[in-house]
Amino acid sequence: MSTPVRVLVGKPGLDGHDRGAKLVARTLRDAGFEVIYLGIRQKPETIAAVAVQEDVRIVGLSILSGAHVALTEKVANALRAAGAEDVLLVVGGTIPKRDVPRLEAAGAAAVYPTGTPLETMVESMRELSADVQAPS
Amino acid sequence: MRDIRSEAGIPLKVSYGPEDLPDPAAIPPPGEFPFTRGNFPDGYRGRVWTLRQYSGFGTPEESNERYRYLLEQGGTGLSVALDLPTQCGYDSDHPDVEEEVGRVGVALDTLADVEILFDQIPLDAISTSWTINGTAAIILAFYVAAGEKQGVDRAKLRGTIQNDILKEYVSRGTWIWPPRPSLRLIADTIEFCAAEVPRFNAISVAGAHFRDAGANAAQEMAFTLMDGITYCDEVVSRGRMTIDEFAPQVSFFFYTHGDFFEEIAKYRAGRRRWARIVRERYGAKEDRSCMFRVGCVAGGASLYAPQAHNNIVRVAYEAMASVLGGVQSMFTAAWDEPFALPSEDSATLALRTQQVLAEETGVTRVADPLGGSYYVEALTDEMEAKVIEIMDDLEQRGGMVKAVEEGYLQRLISEEAFRISGAVASGERPIVGVNRFQTDEEAPETEGYELNEQGRARQLERLAEVKRSRSASDVRATLDELGRAAGAEDINLMPLLVECAKAYCTVGEMVDVLKDKWGEFQQPAVF
C-alpha cells in the first residue's frame, strides 16, 4: 500500500568492519526497504548530503570502533546543517549499554547494540518510519 | 541417512576408517615436506607457540605500560594495535579523525612515539607483531629506526608486519592507495627485509579478516593462499630475487572459529597446499621456503553477546583446535570483545587460557597428536580439495586484483555472511545462549576501556613539539626524495622511508607524498 521506506546505510569514521552494515543493508532490502549502501569511511558531510539528495527517511550508521558517540553527534550535526533534521538517525555496532542514553541525547532515534536480533531491528525501523509517515 | 556437513559444507560420514587415509607420501612425519603434520619434527616440544595478545591503547606511554605488564605476566611477544588514523595514514592532528585518535589502538605519528612505545623494552629481546597494512612500510621504517636509536642492529629485529593490502580492500578497510602501487610497496618491503632485516616477517598474509567478514574456513584458506601467490608473483616477476631468498619471511594469519575438527583440518591442508605451491609454482629448492608459518586468533565473529561468559569456553576450544592444527603463534580474544575493548581482567584471562593449554593439558607433549586419525586425515584431504576448487575459480577469473576491483570477492563473502546469519536466526546453526538455552539475562555491564581524553591532548602536544624541534630542511629533503623515487618503478622505497622516519617526518606526510603520485583507492560499495 505504501511506497518503500528509503534507508541510507553507511559507516562514518575510519572503521572498516562492514559485515554488520552489509548484513543490515541486505536484511532491510529483503524486508521491503529501499536501501542505499554508501560503504565505509564516509565523512559525516557526505552522509548528510546523500541523505538529502536521495530523500531518505532513515540514516543507519554502523560503528564498531568505539567512536560511536562523537561520530553520531557529527552526523546529527551534519544532517541539521543540511536541513535534514527530520531524517531519523539509528545507530548499531559495538556499543556498551552505558552509551545508549548518550547516543539518544546525540540525536539517535534508536540504538541497536551487538546482539540485537535482526528482526527486532527491522520491526523497530518499521515503527519509527510509520510514526513519521503517519501525518500524511 | 541424514546429510551432516561441516561448517564449510564438507559432507561428513558417520565414521571413518582405514580406507579414508591418504597416500602415506601426503603425511610424512612432522617436519617433512609437505608439512601436513607440522613444520617441526618435535612439534611444540622444542618451543611452544608464541602467546601473543593484541593490545595497544591511547598514547604510546599507556601502551608501553601495558606491554611491560604483559611481558611480566609471561607473554612472549608483543602484538601492537594501532589506532585507525595511523592505519589509514592520517596524523593525530588531522581535523577529520579527532574522535579516532588513540581509540582502537595506539597513535603513532612520528619516530618519537615509537621510541616511547618501546621504552625499556629491548628490541633485540622481543618479537613484535604489527597489525598494520596501508602504512606497513612506514611502520617498518619506524621500527628499524627505533632499533638504531636503541643501538640494535636491524639484522637482530624480530617480528611481523601484516602488510597484506588485498584483504583490506575486501574486508578490513584500511586501504590508502590503489592495488598496483600498493603491491609495489609490499614487494619493496619483502625485498628489504630479505636483504637487511632477515629475522623479520615482511608480510603476514591474512585470511582472518575474510573469515571475520563472513567467509567460511575453506574460503578463508583459499583466498589467503591466492593473496600469498599474488605477493610472491610480484616479487619474483621483478627478477631480482629468487623464492628461496624471501619465502622464509612470508607468514600467514587466520581466525580459528568453532568447528573443532574442520579448523584443525584447515591448518593441516593449508600447510600442505602452500608447501606444494612454493615448490611447484616457484621452484623453491629449500624446504624452509615451503613452510607455512601461521599465527591465529581464537574468537572474533565466533563470539556472541548473549550469555557473554560462554565466550570464555568458546575461545578455549578454539585455542585447542589451533594448537592441534599446529599454529606458531596465537592471540586469544577476551570474552567481552562483542561489547567493548577488553578490560585488563578479561585480557589477562584470555592469556591465562593459552597458558593453561600450554602448561596443563599435555597437548604439547607429542607432535601432531591427531596425525593418522582416519577422520582428521580425510577431512584434511577434503578441505584441500575444496581450497583448490575455490583457488581455480579465482585464477580463471583473472586473479585476486581483478576479483577485488570488481567486487567479486566482496560478494562471495557477503553471501556467506548472509547465509550464516540466516542459519543462526533459524536455529540451523546452534549457538548456546542465542538460539539454544536462551535466558533473559541482560548484557553485563562491562568495565571495558575508557578513552583517556587527556591522552589525545598529550599526543597532539607531542606532535606539535616534534614538528617544532625537527629539522625542516631534513624533512623536506627526505620527503622530496621519497616522492621522486615513488614516480620511478625500479627504486626500492624502504631505505628512503627509513630516512624519512629518522628525519621525524610524520606518517601523514609520507602517505600524502605517495598519494600525490599514486592516487587513492575507490571502493566498490557492494552488499
Instruction: Identify the pLDDT of residue B451.
Output: 65
Q: What is the dihedral of CA B454, A13, B465, B132, to 10 degrees?
A: 110
Measure in Å the smallest separation between the Cα of A65 and chain B Cα atoms: 6
CB–CB of B527 and A22 under 8 A? yes
3-state secondary structure B35-61: CCCCCCCCCCCCCCCEEEEEECCCCHH
Q: Which CATH architecture has domain A6-130?
A: 3-Layer(aba) Sandwich (3.40)
Q: Write b or e for each residue in B11-49: b if 16 or more Cβ atoms lie within 10 A of its Cβ, otherwise e.
A: ebeeebeeebbeeeeebeebbebbbbbbbbeebbeeebb
Which A-chain residues 48-107 have CB contacts (< 8 A) with chain B?
65-67, 70-71, 74, 94-98
CB B53 within 8 A of CB B351: yes
CB–CB of B425 and A117 under 8 A? yes
Measure in Å the smallest separation between the Cα of B211 and chain A Cα atoms: 10
Closest C-alpha to A79, from A71, A68, A87 = A87
Instruction: Identify the pLDDT of residue A21.
Output: 95
Residues 6+ apart with CB under 8 A from A43: A12, B96
Which B-chain residues 161-190 have CB contacts (< 8 A) with chain A?
168, 171-174
Chain B residues within an 8 Å CB radius of A93? none
Tell me which of B436 and A131 has the higher pLDDT: B436
Q: How far apart are CA B485 and CA B499, in angstroms?
A: 13
Note whether B99 contacts A: Cβ–Cβ < 8 A.
yes
Note whether B50 contacts A: Cβ–Cβ < 8 A.
no
Closest CA in chain B for residue A44:
B96
Instruction: Identify the pLDDT of residue B367.
Output: 97
Percent of chain A with pLDDT over 90: 81
- pLDDT, tens digit (0-9, with 9 covering 90-100), for B435-452: 999 998 776 666 555 666
Measure in Å the smallest separation between the Cα of A30 and chain B Cα atoms: 11
Q: Tell me which residue in A27, A71, A115 faces B305 most closely, judged by beta carbons.
A: A115
Note whether B441 contacts A: Cβ–Cβ < 8 A.
no
Q: How far apart are CA B364 and CA B376, in angstroms?
A: 18
Dihedral of alpha carbons B315, B321, B323, B326, sign:
negative
B55: its cell numbers: 593490545
Q: Tell me which residue in A17, A43, A67 faces B103 most closely, judged by beta carbons.
A: A67
Reply yes or no on whether the pLDDT at A78 is more than 80. Answer: yes
Q: How far apart are CA B155 and CA B152, in angstroms?
A: 8
Closest CA in chain B for residue A19:
B213
Note whether A39 contacts B: Cβ–Cβ < 8 A.
yes
Q: Tell me which residue in B172, B417, B445 faces A16 most closely, judged by beta carbons.
A: B172
- Phi and psi at residue B469, in whole multiples of 5°? -90, -15
ipTM given for this complex: 0.85
Q: How far apart are CA B262 and CA B248, in angstroms?
A: 27
Q: pLDDT tens, position by position, for chain B (527 residues)?
A: 689 999 999 999 999 999 999 999 889 999 999 999 999 999 999 899 988 777 767 789 988 998 898 888 887 788 898 999 999 999 999 999 988 998 888 999 999 999 999 999 999 988 899 999 999 999 999 999 999 999 999 999 999 999 999 999 998 899 999 999 999 999 999 999 999 999 999 999 999 999 999 999 999 999 999 999 999 999 999 999 999 999 999 999 999 999 999 999 999 999 999 999 999 999 999 999 999 999 999 998 999 989 999 999 999 999 999 999 999 999 999 998 877 778 889 989 999 999 999 999 999 999 999 999 999 999 999 999 999 999 999 999 999 999 999 999 999 999 999 999 999 999 999 999 999 999 987 766 665 556 667 888 999 999 999 999 999 999 999 999 999 999 998 999 999 999 999 999 999 999 999 999 999 998 887 78
Measure in Å the smallest separation between the Cα of B181 and chain A Cα atoms: 21
Q: Is B11 helix (H, G, I), strand (E, B) or coil?
A: strand
Q: How far apart are CA B7 and CA B258, in angstroms?
A: 9
Instruction: Identify the pLDDT of residue A136.
Output: 43
CB–CB of A37 and B527 under 8 A? yes
CB–CB of B527 and A41 under 8 A? no
Question: Hey, of A7, A8, A9, A14, which one would you mutate to test binding to chain B, going by the most B CBs within 10 A of its CB?
Answer: A14
Q: Tell me which residue in A16, A23, A114 faces B421 most closely, judged by beta carbons.
A: A23
Note whether B414 contacts A: Cβ–Cβ < 8 A.
yes
CB B364 within 8 A of CB B320: no
Q: What is the DSSP annotation of B332-378? A: E--TTTTTSSPPHHHHHHHHHHHHHHHHTS-TTSSSSTTTT-HHHHH
**Residue type (1 letter), A101:** P
Q: How far apart are CA A122 and CA B403, in angstroms?
A: 32
